[in-house]
Amino acid sequence: MLVQQSSALKDEIMRLKKEKDVVILAHNYQIPDVQDVADFTGDSLGLSRQAATVSQKTILFCGVNFMAETASIISPDKRVLIPDLEAGCSLSDSITVDELRDWKKQHPGAIAVGYVNTTAEIKAELDYCCTSSNAVNVVNAIPEDKEILFLPDMFLGSYVAKMTGRKNMHIWAGECHVHAGIRPEDVQEKLNSLKDAEFVIHPECSCTTPMMYDVADGSYDQNKVSILSTEGMLNHVHQSKSKNFVVATETGILYKMRQQNPGKTFIPASDKAECQYMKMITLEKVYDALVNEKNVVTVPKEIADKARLAINRMLEIS
């Protein structure tokens, strides 16, 4: 019965989005049903770029709040909706705009580099935005004698500092509750259970820190390791000749991996790696947002214009 209801709701969503000329974007961490009704799936930056190129004037962004804000900043002429305005982000919440301003005052002249997983207000205070896939390139593009304030993710920051060799990088002590919860012992247990497994890992994971030196050598206890963004993970596992993978990121990504690679096995590094905020988006909420055209995400022009500068610098370096 539930399957029938779900199928009928999907059909209705597909009809409505055509009728109302709405494009649906869904993050890789969304539940399978929501990914199924999306026109495009991807990581937050890829989806925001997609938002700027689509012909539709209304975007329904199935992800968390900062992602919809970024889409709105990149595409100011479009209307951006989100199925649930309460879908936040523990990493984005780990720094406030007042804390960032105070930090900048303590380090006059420093270059502020912020992960895309931040609010529009924070982005407006940054010199550069970055993603997990281009953070190393962004930091390398900054003159070596310049101090860097890197925020808000301490695990991504540690990884970038290690890969760039920067000694003048200050790292904010923020974390994503999902990635921080993936422990080295979880990973080891899963790797031991799967023969010849490749290990793909998101740089926000706390397990990257003790593993970094091994990973720099290209292995971890004889397992091939790749540190990648979610989009990088999807591309890598598709091209790899390996058959077995242990995946260290939010479990939502496994749906697409299995869909695209039916002959391969994917297991999560931790079964508990679920984002409660991503999972707030349901088919019912997608339908409701479409029918009522509600939950419009807007960013004040002054903030959007400043934030766009940092985002555009990131896009140029990508």
pLDDT tens digit sequence for 229-250: 888 999 999 999 999 999 999 9
Which residues are known binding-site members for iminosuccinate? 27, 44, 115-117, 132, 202-204, 230
Largest separation between any pair of C-alpha atoms in the chain: 64
Distance in angstroms (rounded) separating the CA atoms of residues 297 and 163: 36
One fold for 2-87+278-297 and 182-268:
yes
**CATH (one of 3.40.50.10800, 3.10.20.740, 3.30.300.90, 3.40.50.300) for 2-87+278-297:** 3.40.50.10800
Q: Are 309 and 129 in contact (CB under 8 A)?
A: no
Question: Residue ranges of the domains in the chain?
Answer: 2-87+278-297, 92-175+302-317, 182-268
Q: pLDDT of 129-155, one tens digit each?
A: 998 888 999 999 999 999 999 999 998
How much is the pLDDT for 209?
A: 58
Which residues are known binding-site members for [4Fe-4S] cluster? 89, 176, 275
With b meaning 16 or more CB within 10 Å and e meaning fewer, what string describes 28-43? bbbbebbbbbbbebbb
Does the domain at 182-268 match CATH 3.40.50.10800? Answer given as yes
Does the domain at 92-175+302-317 match CATH 3.90.1150.10? Answer given as no
Distance in angstroms (rounded) separating the CA atoms of residues 35 and 27: 8
Residues of the chain with pLDDT under 70: 1-4, 206-223, 318
Closest to 12 (Cα-Cα) out of 293, 295, 281, 291: 291
Which residues are known binding-site members? 27, 44, 89, 115-117, 132, 176, 202-204, 230, 275
Within 8 A by CB and 6+ apart from 107, the residues are: 147, 149, 170
With b meaning 16 or more CB within 10 Å and e meaning fewer, what string describes 158-167? bbbbbbbebe
- Indicate the SS3 state at residue 195: coil
Amino acid at position 100, single letter = L
Give the pTM.
0.89
- Indicate the SS3 state at residue 25: strand
